[in-house]
């Protein structure tokens, strides 16, 4: 089975080309540094605590050695157990110090880790919200979810266990090496002999697993995207018997993910025993050489015991280090993805120095505007248009003509390729988001309801609006009646994506929401297409009063809407082919006149 079902798109967001991987590294590092910076002092404290904790841990074998070497002989000589008791007390003391510091470490590290995660979640979420629609169109919600769930969790995992493992391992590594040399230089050197091998081996593992984990992140993202999409569109999936094919695709993506995972765990399967092997060989060497030395009385039995203990302490955490790499690689790959998102610049950027606009009258102007989606063809070849404040303009034209595109430019979902769109003489690019949205609101062709109550959803137009205002908005556009007929009235849960109310009802709620927002410029894109005729008429009646003092752009195929317009624009292929008051256009013999006639005929 090939990949052709996915289709071709201009760019593939999942692929990370090898050539730029170095850059990605530094970009992830920057993000990591950025996240850690506020915790500098806590991390310093953390380091101090962990040093103490490890020192206490390291002291244990040494104390055992002292116990054996200097505690036993006095007793054997009948000089009492004073030395031994002191040493045992020291062991207990060291154990307690280690415990206290370790707990402090775990809690502190946990807090820092969680703070970082919170910050990361906040940042990525905010950034996703900031990125423009052109980004989201290619990225898909599945990927957004994957970034904010599985990728953030990979980093959580690193912070949870990996960090602890690394610090402990590194400290133990150096501490133990030092202790070994202090205890006995010769034996110490023999014990440290395999160290270079260890380092080379670790480097090999790091390089190999880096590739493996990147692949894991990529494959899991595809699994997530397919999963989310098939669940979102499950209605069509079931109605069109798509299940077997979907299952086939899913199982293949899932198998790819498994493949990537297998590679990762195979690497660990080599790395972990490899470390163990090096450790065990060292132990045997120390036994042999140390035994030989002890035999000649060069080292004491206590030293030999201490060596065996230290080597154990040395290599056990080394196992842990692979766990750390494991976590680090996943987190590293996740971090690459996340930092990639964070570095993505919004196509529609906030102005560095926003222009002032305290009150907008709602005058709109298109000044030699050209627009294309990405690399695609010009959707709007060249557009000059002036809409005075307070005018109600109906936009009509065949489907795909560019009506919605025009509306999106006014809402600044996109910026024109060339030319300017202006509100009250200010280029939209000079207005900050908050200002623009206060004055311009659009009811999109695809209205979206959030999980929550009807009141929540209407209130979305003006968060914090009192209930009376919500009811008033619903009443104004004629939604009040159906809402109060629902079992819980305004507090009815609309369900996922508003699935518990009908399509027309969703449209009414979306409409009420826009009304509540009370903007200077209101754009309605097919906002009544799913309503029955009486409801539509009711909305239109409401619009007459609502639109009296604001600028409005109404896109509609049902020409009944035109009756409330002051002016009609007919758009074909992204150009305005007719422009004028409706009655004049109808009387003429142009495009609109024909359209209108066709519409009148369709009513018969």
Ligand X SMILES: Nc1ncnc2c1ncn2[C@@H]1O[C@H](COP(=O)(O)OP(=O)(O)OP(=O)(O)O)[C@@H](O)[C@H]1O
| Other beta carbons within 10 Å of 321 | 24
| Least separation in angstroms between CB 525 and Mg ion | 6
Instruction: Please give the biggest Cα pair distance in the chain.
Output: 126
- Answer for which of 145, 170, 211, 389 binds another protein (CB under 8 A) is 145
The stretch among 29-37, 106-114, 187-195, 206-214 that binds another protein (CB under 8 A) is 106-114
| Least separation in angstroms between CB 444 and Mg ion | 9
| Least separation in angstroms between CB 340 and another protein | 16
The single residue listed with the structure tokens 């806590």 is: 42
Q: Which of residues 203-262 bind Mg ion (CB under 5 A)?
A: none
Residue 24 or 396: which CB sits closer to another protein?
396
Residue 400 is a binding residue for ligand X (CB under 6 A): yes
* Alpha-carbon gap, residue 185 to 191, rounded angstroms: 10
DSSP code of residue 525 = E
Q: Are 575 and 384 in contact (CB under 8 A)?
A: no
Q: Which residue is nearest to ligand X (CB)?
A: 504
* Alpha-carbon gap, residue 164 to 82, rounded angstroms: 38
Q: Exposure of 549 by Cβ count < 10 A (0-12 exposed, 13-18 middle, 19+ buried)?
A: exposed
The stretch among 153-161, 325-333, 399-407, 452-460 that binds ligand X (CB under 6 A) is 399-407
- What six digits make up the tokens of 104? 């402090």
Q: Exposure of 464 by Cβ count < 10 A (0-12 exposed, 13-18 middle, 19+ buried)?
A: exposed
Q: Which of residues 386-415 bind another protein (CB under 8 A)?
A: 396-400, 404, 411, 413
* Alpha-carbon gap, residue 332 to 211, rounded angstroms: 11
Q: Are 553 and 593 in contact (CB under 8 A)?
A: no
Residue 24 or 506: which CB sits closer to another protein?
506
- Answer for which of 181, 305, 389, 577 binds another protein (CB under 8 A) is 305
Q: How many residues bind Mg ion (CB under 5 A)?
A: 4
x/- site string to ligand X, residues 34 to 53, per CB under 6 A? --------------------
Residue 2 is a binding residue for another protein (CB under 8 A): no
What is the edge-to-edge ordering of all strands in the sheet holding 567-572?
440-443, 521-525, 551-555, 392-396, 567-572, 575-580
Residue 532 is a binding residue for Mg ion (CB under 5 A): no
The stretch among 37-45, 169-177, 334-342, 527-535 that binds another protein (CB under 8 A) is 527-535
| Least separation in angstroms between CB 417 and ligand X | 13
The single residue listed with the structure tokens 């590294």 is: 25
Q: Which of residues 333-392 bind ligand X (CB under 6 A)?
A: 373, 376, 379
Residue 81 is a binding residue for another protein (CB under 8 A): yes
- Answer for which of 503, 548, 598, 600 binds Mg ion (CB under 5 A) is 503
DSSP-derived secondary structure for 58-123: HHHHHHHHHIIIIIHHHHHTTS-SHHHHHHHHHHHHHHHHHHHHHHHHHHHHHHHHHHHHHHHHHH
Smallest CA-to-CA distance from 506 within 555, 561, 443 is with 443
| Least separation in angstroms between CB 23 and another protein | 27
Q: Which of residues 521-540 bind ligand X (CB under 6 A)?
A: 530
Residue 358 is a binding residue for another protein (CB under 8 A): no
Residue 563 is a binding residue for another protein (CB under 8 A): yes
- What six digits make up the tokens of 595? 């359209």
* Alpha-carbon gap, residue 231 to 424, rounded angstroms: 44
Q: Which of residues 392-421 bind Mg ion (CB under 5 A)?
A: 404
Which option in another protein, Mg ion, ligand X, none does residue 463 bind, with CB closer than 5 to 8 A by kind? another protein
- Answer for which of 61, 142, 188, 402 binds ligand X (CB under 6 A) is 402
Residue 68 or 559: which CB sits closer to ligand X?
559
B/e letters for 212-226, b = 16+ CB within 10 Å, e = fewer, are bbbbbbbbbbbbbbb
x/- site string to another protein, residues 208 to 237, per CB under 8 A? ------------x--xxx-xxxxxxxxxxx
The stretch among 41-49, 168-176, 383-391, 526-534 that binds another protein (CB under 8 A) is 526-534
Strand-pairing partners, residue 569, are: 395, 579
Contact set with ligand X (CB under 6 A): 137, 373, 376, 379, 397, 399-405, 445, 495, 500-505, 530
List contacts with Mg ion (CB under 5 A).
404, 445, 502-503
């Amino acid at each position: 089975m090939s990949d052709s079902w996915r289709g071709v798109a201009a760019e593939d967001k999942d692929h990370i080309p090898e050539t730029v991987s170095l850059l990605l590294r530094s970009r992830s590092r920057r993000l990591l540094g950025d996240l850690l910076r506020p915790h500098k002092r806590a991390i310093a404290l953390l380091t101090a605590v962990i040093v103490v904790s490890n020192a206490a841990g390291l002291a244990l074998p040494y104390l055992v050695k002292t116990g054996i070497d200097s505690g036993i002989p006095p007793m054997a000589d009948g000089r009492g157990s004073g030395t031994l008791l002191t040493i045992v007390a020291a062991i207990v003391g060291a154990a307690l110090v280690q415990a206290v510091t370790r707990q402090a470490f775990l809690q502190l590290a946990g807090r820092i880790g969680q703070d970082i995660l919170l910050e990361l979640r906040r940042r990525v979420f905010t950034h996703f919200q900031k990125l423009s629609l052109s980004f989201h169109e290619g990225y898909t919600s599945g990927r957004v979810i994957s970034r904010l769930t599985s990728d953030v969790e990979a980093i959580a995992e690193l912070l949870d266990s990996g960090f602890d493992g690394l610090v402990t391992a590194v400290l133990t590594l150096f501490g133990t090496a030092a202790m070994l040399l202090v205890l006995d230089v010769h034996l110490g050197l023999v014990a440290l002999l395999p160290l270079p091998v260890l380092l080379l081996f670790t480097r090999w593992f790091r390089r190999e697993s880096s590739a493996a984990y990147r692949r894991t992140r990529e494959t899991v993202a595809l699994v997530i995207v397919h999963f989310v999409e098939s669940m979102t569109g499950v209605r069509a999936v079931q109605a069109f018997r798509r299940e077997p094919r979907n299952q086939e695709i899913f199982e293949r993506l899932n198998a790819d993910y498994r493949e990537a995972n297998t590679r990762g765990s195979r690497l660990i399967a080599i790395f972990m025993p490899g470390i163990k092997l090096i450790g065990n060989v060292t132990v045997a060497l120390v036994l042999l050489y140390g035994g030989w030395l002890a035999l000649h009385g060069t080292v004491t039995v206590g030293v030999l015991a201490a060596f065996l203990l230290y080597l154990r302490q040395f290599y056990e955490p080394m196992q842990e280090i692979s766990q750390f790499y494991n976590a680090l690689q996943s987190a590293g790959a996740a971090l690459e993805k996340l930092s990639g998102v964070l570095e993505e610049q919004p196509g529609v950027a906030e102005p560095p120095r926003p222009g002032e606009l305290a009150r907008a009258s709602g005058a709109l102007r298109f000044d030699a505007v050209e627009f294309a989606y990405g690399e695609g063809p010009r959707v709007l070849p060249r557009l000059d248009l002036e809409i005075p404040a307070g005018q109600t303009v109906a936009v009509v034209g065949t489907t795909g003509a560019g009506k919605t595109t025009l509306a999106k430019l006014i809402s600044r979902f996109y910026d024109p390729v060339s030319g300017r769109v202006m509100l009250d003489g200010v280029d939209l690019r000079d207005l900050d988001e908050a200002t623009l949205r206060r004055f311009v609101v659009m009811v999109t062709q695809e209205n979206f309801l959030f999980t929550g109550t009807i009141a929540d959803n209407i209130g979305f137009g003006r968060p914090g609006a009192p209930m009376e205002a919500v009811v008033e908005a619903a009443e104004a556009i004629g939604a009040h009646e159906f809402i109060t007929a629902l079992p819980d009235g305004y507090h009815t849960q609309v369900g996922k994506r508003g699935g518990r109310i009908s399509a027309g009802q969703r449209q009414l709620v979306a409409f009420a929401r826009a009304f509540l927002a009370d903007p200077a410029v209101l754009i309605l894109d097919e906002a009544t297409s799913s309503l029955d005729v009486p409801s539509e008429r009711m909305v239109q009646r409401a619009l007459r009063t609502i639109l009296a003092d604001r600028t409005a752009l109404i896109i509609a195929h049902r020409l009944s809407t035109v009756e409330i317009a002051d002016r009609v624009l007919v758009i074909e292929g992204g150009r305005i082919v007719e422009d004028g008051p409706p009655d004049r256009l109808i009387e003429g013999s142009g495009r609109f006149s024909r359209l209108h006639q066709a519409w009148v005929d369709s009513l018969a």
